[in-house]
Structure 1
């Protein structure tokens, strides 16, 4: 299911519900329908930017460990290369970026951000 974020400050942002819910949990907002008021946008930006920094550090560490495990598992002790593709992971920051930009625009123009409304 998709969640559509709307603001008069920018174009709509579509996000899968599971990813939107993670962000909305950080902001203590209802998943189905809600608003981030113009007054709340500055704090929402701070929270989201802080979470992105934390998650980026965790993702780098987890990715390097996963790659090392993959190399050992697929190359073996002889060093044979089985030509496995590196997995392409979509990071939290990549998923959150469009909404973060919407929040910045809404903050600048003193507009609300809404979801779950027509």
Structure 2
């Protein structure tokens, strides 16, 4: 399933449901689709999302340090995966634009 995030402050964003639900949960929202954020709630959702992504990045960094060079050899052969932090960048930009222009954000 596809989830589309919309706001008048920027273009639409399309995510697969799994990634969208993870991002919504980091924003402090449930997995209800469709739903929306009022303009006055965008700032709090953006802050929660940034904090959650920072925690995930710290956790991933700690795992990488523990694994050391052992993982480096095996990862070169394995399929590359895109991190949630990377996937979240367009949504972060959208929320920042919505916050600046005081626009609501919806998803369906």
Q: TM-score, normalised by structure 1?
A: 0.77
- Tell me, in whole angstroms, the C-alpha distance in 2 between the residues paired with 1:23 and 1:47: 10
Q: TM-score, normalised by structure 2?
A: 0.84
- Tell me, in whole angstroms, the C-alpha distance in 1 between the residues paired with 2:97 and 2:72: 43
Q: Which has the larger radius of gyration?
A: 1
- Tell me, in whole angstroms, the C-alpha distance in 1 between the residues paired with 2:5 and 2:79: 29
> Which residue of structure 2 lines up, in the alignment, with residue 19 of structure 1?
19
- Tell me, in whole angstroms, the C-alpha distance in 1 between the residues paired with 2:72 and 2:44: 42
- Tell me, in whole angstroms, the C-alpha distance in 1 between the residues paired with 2:5 and 2:13: 5
> Which residue of structure 1 lines up, in the alignment, with residue 54 of structure 2?
53
- Measured against aligned partners, the alpha-carbon deviations of 1:3-58 in whole angstroms (never above 9, x if no partner) come to 00000000111111001101212322343110111100110111011111111111
Tell me which stretches of 4 or more aligned residues in structure 1 moved more than 3 Å: 63-72, 84-87
Higher helix share: 2
CA RMSD across the alignment: 2.1
- Structure 2, unaligned runs of 5 or more: none
Number of positions where the alignment pairs a residue of Structure 1 with one of Structure 2: 106
